[in-house]
Amino acid sequence: MAFHKYRSFVPVDLPDRTWPNRRLERAPLWCSVDLRDGNQALIDPMDPERKLAMFKQLVAMGFKEIEVGFPSASQPDFDFVRHIIEEDLIPQDVTIQVLTQCREDLIRRTYESIHGAHNAIVHFYNSTSILQRRVVFGLDKEGITAIAVEAAHLCRALDLKPVG
């Protein structure tokens, strides 16, 4: 990226905080999320051929992090992730990312999908809105935090588990 051709922004002096005074000295790492159809595309999701063409285009454009799907949410996403891994279509300098909810069964399914990937990020999430906490989970903030912590522990354990 040719970030060096742009002038830096004028720093804001906020002495009580440290991060606003930091300067960007290298290009940020961009992660494309174009391949994750999710709930936004239930009516007309990308077929595997379109997803593969888009993946190849994102690689050609120079993306080094590409979110490739939500493999625990749909069989087509799971199959797509497996395909690009098994066919060795992911360049060594590209990291794939997958999305999953903070549920043990979904996290485990997600890790099945990335088995054999040389670089992968598992992005897990949990709803935190008041409505979700009260109606869906019946939990307070601490309970929602506990769900995230448990998911982090499981991901860490699965990351450290020997492959094969």
**Over its length of 164 residues, how does the chain's per-residue pLDDT go in tens digits?**
666 777 777 777 777 877 777 777 877 778 888 887 655 556 777 888 999 999 999 999 999 999 999 999 888 899 999 999 999 999 999 999 999 999 999 999 999 999 999 999 999 999 999 999 999 999 999 999 999 999 999 999 998 765 54
pLDDT at 34: 82
Extents of the domains making up the chain: 29-127
**pTM for the whole thing?**
0.80
Q: At what angle do helices 104-113 and 75-86 cross, to 10 degrees?
A: 30
pLDDT at 35: 86
| Domain 29-127 in CATH 3.20.20.70 | yes
For tokens 């549920």, the residue is 103
Alpha carbon distance, N-terminus to C-terminus of the chain: 38
Residue 109 is which amino acid?
Answer: R
CB 68 within 8 A of CB 81: yes
DSSP 150-161: HHHHHHHHHHHS
pLDDT at 122: 96
